[in-house]
C-alpha cells in the first residue's frame, strides 16, 4: 500500500491488517522467549528440586528488572509514537536519546544490587543451603550482566514505536534461540564446556540478551530512519524525562507490584511445603506461552493507539482496542482449555528424578486448573491497562494492578491459607481477576468519554 507522503502506516493502513502486521512478529518472538523460559526451567529441574526452587525464587528480582526496563521503554515509546503522530521529529529524537539515557542509569542500579545483595535476598526466604547457593550464583550473573536485557528492551521499543516490529521479532528470536542452544551445553557441560549447573543457565540467558541487544542496535541504526540516536552535545532534558515517567513510572510500579505479589505468595506457599513454591515457579513459566503473545499483541497495539490519538483519529483507536480485546480473550481462553485438559503432561516435564514421589503433580494439577480459570477474565484487563498507558493514564493501570495483586490477591490467599488446605489458596487468583475486570470496565468508560470521544468534534 502506498501511504500519503509523510504519513506513517499507523495512520492509514486498515486497522485489522495494521494490528496483525504490528503484533504478529512481536507475538512470535515472545513465544520463542516463552519457550526458552520453559526450556531453562526444564534443564534446571533435571539437576534437582533445589535448583528449580532457586530459579523460581529469583523471579521477583528478574521481574523487577523487566519492570524497570519495560516501564521506562513504554514511557518513551508512547511519547515517541505520539510525537510521530504530531509530526514533531525533534521531540521524537529527544524522546529516544533521553529514554536510552534512563535505561543506562537503571541498568547500573541493578548491576550494583546483583553484585552485593544476591545472597541476602535468598537468605531471607529460606535456610536450605542448596537453594541459597544455587540462587546466589544465578542472581549475581543475571543482574550483574543485565546491560544486555536493558539494551535489548530499549532497541526493541524504538523499533516498535515506528511500526518496524519485524526487526523486533528477529532480534528477540535470535537472543532466545541462542539461550535455548546454550542452556544444556553450559548447564551440563557438554563438549569442551565445564558443567556450570544453575550458573550455566544464567550465563546462557545473559549471552542471549547481549546478542539480541547488538542486533537491535544494528537495526535501529540501519533500518529505522525516523529515530536518530545522536548523543553529540546530549544533555538530559527534564521535561522529556518527566513526560516519559508520567507514563513509564506507573508502569514500572505496576509491574514491580508483580514482584511483591510473587515474593508474598512464595512466603505463603513455602509455609505448606517448598514443593508448592516450585509449582508456582513452574506455573509462571508455563503461563508465559499464552500471556507472552497477549503482551506482544499489546506491544503492537500501544503505538497504534498513541499515534492515532496524536493524529486525532478516534475511529481507528476504537477499532484497534476492540480487535485487541477479541484476540487477547481468544488466546487466553485457549490457554485455559490447555491447562484444564493437560496439566499432568505439562507438569511432568519439570519433575526431577529425586522427586519421583509425585508431589509436584499432586500439588500442581489443581493449581494449574484453578489459576487458569482467571484467564477467562484477564484478556480485557490486560488490553485496557495498556490503553490507559498509551493515552497517558498510567495511574489507572497502576491502581488496577495494585488492587488486583496487593489489595485482593495476597490478602485473600493469606486468609485462605490460615483456614483451608493448600489447594484452596489458588482460588485467590480468579477472585482477584474478577475485581480487576470490574475496575477496568469503569476506567475504560471514563477514558473513552474524556479522551477519545472529544476527538470526534
Q: How far apart are CA 73 and CA 350, in angstroms?
A: 33
For 356, phi then psi, to 5°, come to: -65, -5
CB atoms within 10 A of CB 455: 15
Using DSSP, state whether 391 is helix, strand or coil.
coil
Residues in CB range of 105: below 8 A, 6 or more apart: none
pTM of the predicted model over 0.75? no
Q: Do 149 and 66 form a contact (C-beta atoms < 8 A)?
A: yes
Confidence of residue 353 (pLDDT cuts 50, 70, 90): very low
Indicate the Cα dihedral angle 133, 270, 115, 109, nearest 10°.
170
Q: Average pLDDT, whole number, for the chain?
A: 85
Q: How far apart are CA 91 and CA 444, in angstroms?
A: 28
Q: Over the stretch 127-163, which tens digit does the pLDDT of each residue have?
A: 889 899 999 999 999 999 999 999 998 888 778 777 7
Distance in angstroms between the alpha carbons of the first and the last residue of the chain: 29
Over residues 78-90, the mean pLDDT reads 72
Cα torsion angle, 409, 411, 417, 420, sign: negative
Q: How far apart are CA 301 and CA 297, in angstroms?
A: 6
Q: How far apart are CA 90 and CA 8, in angstroms?
A: 16
Question: From start to end of 102-231, where are the E strands?
Answer: none
pLDDT given at position 229: 65
Between 109-113, 304-308, 400-404, 440-444, the lowest mean confidence (pLDDT) is in: 304-308
Three cell numbers at 223? 533500518
Is the pLDDT higher at 107 or at 3?
A: 107
Over residues 31-39, the mean pLDDT reads 78
Identity of the highest mean pLDDT range in 80-89, 92-101, 165-174? 165-174
Q: How far apart are CA 325 and CA 53, in angstroms?
A: 35
Over residues 410-424, the mean pLDDT reads 94
Q: Cα–Cα–Cα angle for 381, 261, 127, nearest 5°?
A: 155
Radius of gyration of the chain (CA): 22
Q: Over the stretch 197-227, which tens digit does the pLDDT of each residue have?
A: 999 999 999 999 999 999 999 998 888 777 7
Q: How far apart are CA 191 and CA 175, in angstroms?
A: 22
Q: How far apart are CA 339 and CA 348, in angstroms?
A: 13
DSSP-assigned letters across all residues of 50-93: HHHHHHHHTHHHHHHHHHHHHHHHHHHHHHHHHHHHTT-HHHHH
Confidence of residue 420 (pLDDT cuts 50, 70, 90): very high
Over residues 278-284, the mean pLDDT reads 88
Cα torsion angle, 311, 314, 316, 317, sign: positive
Q: Over the stretch 43-72, which tens digit does the pLDDT of each residue have?
A: 888 888 788 888 888 888 888 888 888 888
Three cell numbers at 120? 541476602
Residue (of 22, 27, 60) closest to 331 by Cα position: 27
Three cell numbers at 86? 504530531
pLDDT at residue 457 tops 50 = yes
pLDDT given at position 357: 46
Q: Where are the alpha helices (DSSP H) in 271-393?
A: 274-310, 314-341, 343-348, 359-372, 375-390
Residues in CB range of 102: below 8 A, 6 or more apart: 72, 76, 241, 244
Q: Where are the alpha helices (DSSP H) in 342-374?
A: 343-348, 359-372
Q: How far apart are CA 403 and CA 380, in angstroms?
A: 16
pLDDT at residue 80 tops 70 = yes
Residue found under cell 537491535: 216
Confidence of residue 8 (pLDDT cuts 50, 70, 90): low
Residue (of 9, 16, 12, 10) closest to 327 by Cα position: 16
Q: How far apart are CA 254 and CA 439, in angstroms?
A: 15
Using DSSP, state whether 421 is helix, strand or coil.
coil
pLDDT at residue 1 tops 70 = no
Over residues 327-331, the mean pLDDT reads 95
pLDDT at residue 3 tops 60 = no
Amino acid at each position: 500500500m502506498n501511504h500519503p507522503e509523510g504519513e506513517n502506516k499507523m495512520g492509514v493502513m486498515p486497522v485489522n491488517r495494521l494490528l496483525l502486521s504490528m503484533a504478529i512478529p512481536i507475538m512470535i518472538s515472545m513465544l520463542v522467549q516463552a519457550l526458552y523460559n520453559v526450556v531453562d526451567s526444564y534443564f534446571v529441574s533435571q539437576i534437582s528440586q533445589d535448583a528449580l526452587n532457586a530459579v523460581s525464587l529469583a523471579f521477583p528480582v528478574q521481574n523487577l528488572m523487566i519492570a524497570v526496563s519495560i516501564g521506562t521503554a513504554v514511557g518513551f515509546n508512547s511519547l515517541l509514537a505520539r510525537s510521530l503522530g504530531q509530526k514533531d521529529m525533534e521531540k521524537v529524537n529527544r524522546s529516544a536519546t533521553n529514554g536510552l539515557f534512563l535505561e543506562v542509569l537503571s541498568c547500573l542500579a541493578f548491576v550494583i544490587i546483583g553484585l552485593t545483595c544476591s545472597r541476602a535476598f535468598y537468605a531471607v526466604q529460606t535456610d536450605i543451603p542448596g537453594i541459597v547457593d544455587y540462587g546466589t550464583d544465578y542472581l549475581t550473573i543475571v543482574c550483574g550482566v543485565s546491560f544486555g536485557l536493558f539494551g535489548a528492551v530499549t532497541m526493541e521499543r524504538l523499533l516498535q514505536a515506528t511500526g518496524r516490529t519485524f526487526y523486533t521479532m528477529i532480534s528477540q528470536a535470535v537472543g532466545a534461540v541462542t539461550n535455548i542452544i546454550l542452556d544444556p551445553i553450559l548447564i551440563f557441560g557438554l563438549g569442551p564446556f565445564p558443567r556450570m549447573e544453575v550458573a550455566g543457565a544464567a550465563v546462557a540467558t545473559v549471552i542471549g540478551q547481549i546478542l539480541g541487544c547488538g542486533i537491535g542496535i544494528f537495526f535501529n541504526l540501519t533500518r529505522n530512519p525516523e529515530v536518530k540516536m545522536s548523543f553529540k552535545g546530549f544533555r538530559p532534558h527534564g521535561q522529556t524525562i518527566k513526560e516519559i515517567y508520567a507514563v513509564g513510572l506507573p508502569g514500572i510500579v505496576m509491574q514491580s507490584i508483580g514482584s511483591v505479589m510473587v515474593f508474598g505468595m512464595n512466603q505463603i506457599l513455602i509455609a505448606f511445603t517448598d514443593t508448592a513454591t516450585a509449582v508456582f515457579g513452574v506455573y509462571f513459566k508455563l503461563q508465559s506461552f499464552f500471556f507472552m503473545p497477549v503482551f506482544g499483541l499489546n506491544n503492537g497495539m500501544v503505538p497504534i493507539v498513541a499515534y492515532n490519538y496524536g493524529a486525532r483519529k478516534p475511529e481507528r483507536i476504537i477499532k484497534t482496542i476492540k480487535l485487541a480485546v477479541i484476540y487477547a480473550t481468544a488466546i487466553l481462553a485457549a490457554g485455559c482449555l490447555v491447562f484444564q485438559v493437560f496439566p499432568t503432561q505439562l507438569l511432568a516435564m519439570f519433575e526431577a528424578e529425586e522427586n519421583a514421589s509425585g508431589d509436584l503433580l499432586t500439588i500442581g494439577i489443581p493449581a494449574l486448573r484453578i489459576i487458569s480459570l482467571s484467564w477467562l477474565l484477564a484478556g480485557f484487563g490486560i488490553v485496557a491497562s495498556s490503553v490507559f498507558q498509551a493515552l497517558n493514564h498510567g495511574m489507572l493501570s497502576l491502581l488496577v494492578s495494585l488492587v488486583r495483586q496487593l489489595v485482593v490477591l495476597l490478602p485473600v490467599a493469606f486468609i485462605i491459607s490460615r483456614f483451608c488446605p493448600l489447594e484452596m489458596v489458588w482460588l485467590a487468583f480468579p477472585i482477584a481477576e474478577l475485581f480487576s475486570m470490574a475496575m477496568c470496565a469503569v476506567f475504560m468508560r471514563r477514558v473513552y468519554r474524556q479522551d477519545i470521544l472529544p476527538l470526534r468534534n
